[in-house]
Structure 1
Amino acid sequence: MKIAVVGASGMTGSRVVTEAVTRGHHVTAVFRGTPSELPHPDVDVVRGDATDVDHMSAVLAGADAIVGATRPAPGAEDTVAATITALLDAAAGTRVLVVGGAGPLRSPSGGLVIDDPAFVPPEWRTIASASTTQLQACEAHAGDWVYLSPPAMLEPGIRTGAYRRGSTTILTAADGSSRISTEDFAIAIVDELENPGRDRHFTVGY
């Protein structure tokens, strides 16, 4: 499979590149700037800004699947809708897996995760709100997309190969925590690319 990863220098995107290459996929890693270090030697490295529709249309042409792992810089959270809309435009009907946020998931206590301080403390609320806006922009677009919300805590860790798949309600462990390592999150992403599920919005976690 030919997979393009947009935002390949980020915490999630870089691990998706590694996971996909390990499984034998042909990967194009799209960087907005100049990468500090190049990924696997078999990866095609391309510079591109997700908001540049004309350039990205050429970059993404021929891809079987696209991973949108872009993340706004602090203070630029209001750009997420325009960025994902431009990426979906550039994809021209090719399926895009959008790496989103946990904000628009349902909370076990009712309501949305963004409004539950157990999962979203005040300092995370701005980026969590941006993920809700991002999902709404996807829902308004006619392109082929799927939106993956991480659990409340996503951070580098160990690749265990294990995770649970949920729908639109945040997944929690027996102790109430909601987390997954970025390495296992990348496994879930490539699993979805290889064997697409029926949900347009889903989540994973331990």
Structure 2
Amino acid sequence: MDALKTLFPDDVAIVHDDPRADRSGYLDEEERYVALAIPRRKREFHAGRACAGAAMNALGLTRVPIPAANDRSPVWPDGVVGSISHCDTLCVAAVGLKAHGYLSMGLDVEPAEALPADLFDAICTRQEQDWLEDRPLSERALLARTIFSAKEATYKCQYPLTGMMMDFQDLEISLGTYSFGATFRKDIKDFTKGTVLPGSLAVQDGYIFSAMVMTTQSRWNSR
């Protein structure tokens, strides 16, 4: 998928696969985290780890187990930064090296489908809803899904740095054509209220992709 290559710098490895596919060769150390899970959850988990392992291989690293923390987030090996996302029909993993200056990254994939209207209030701030109301009616629900995706990518990117849970209302998204800005609506450790983090967007083959990268050179704005 060419769109995925636009989301990250060239030295980030990105691998995708179909989580519905039967697979073998998963690591026993990873299987224990989903031993009691339903088959669908197992397939998604192992597809994500397989993609992450292939991405590490692409960077010249040996695949090693990627455990799950108590909060179910991936525990990456020393020196590695990554993110995994999946929907029903696609799984994607992105992996970079701390030696290249990467601190954290967040990736989200969603089907390019309308967000149910009954979720608008929970996911979108009042300002986001006002912005949506100015868009053509036929576009609003898909744009709301894109806002959701951008918030997911932002949350995944900030969490390894802060260890803080966030609510959808804690972020406000400004959408561009191929980018977005995520504004913090309250203090989250080093990210003070008003901090704006930049992210990337892409749409291809019926999927919405959102991504965010933090590096040692990142600078964020407060407004």
TM normalised by structure 1 equals: 0.35
TM-score w.r.t. structure 2 length?
A: 0.33
Answer 1 or 2: which has greater strand percent: 2
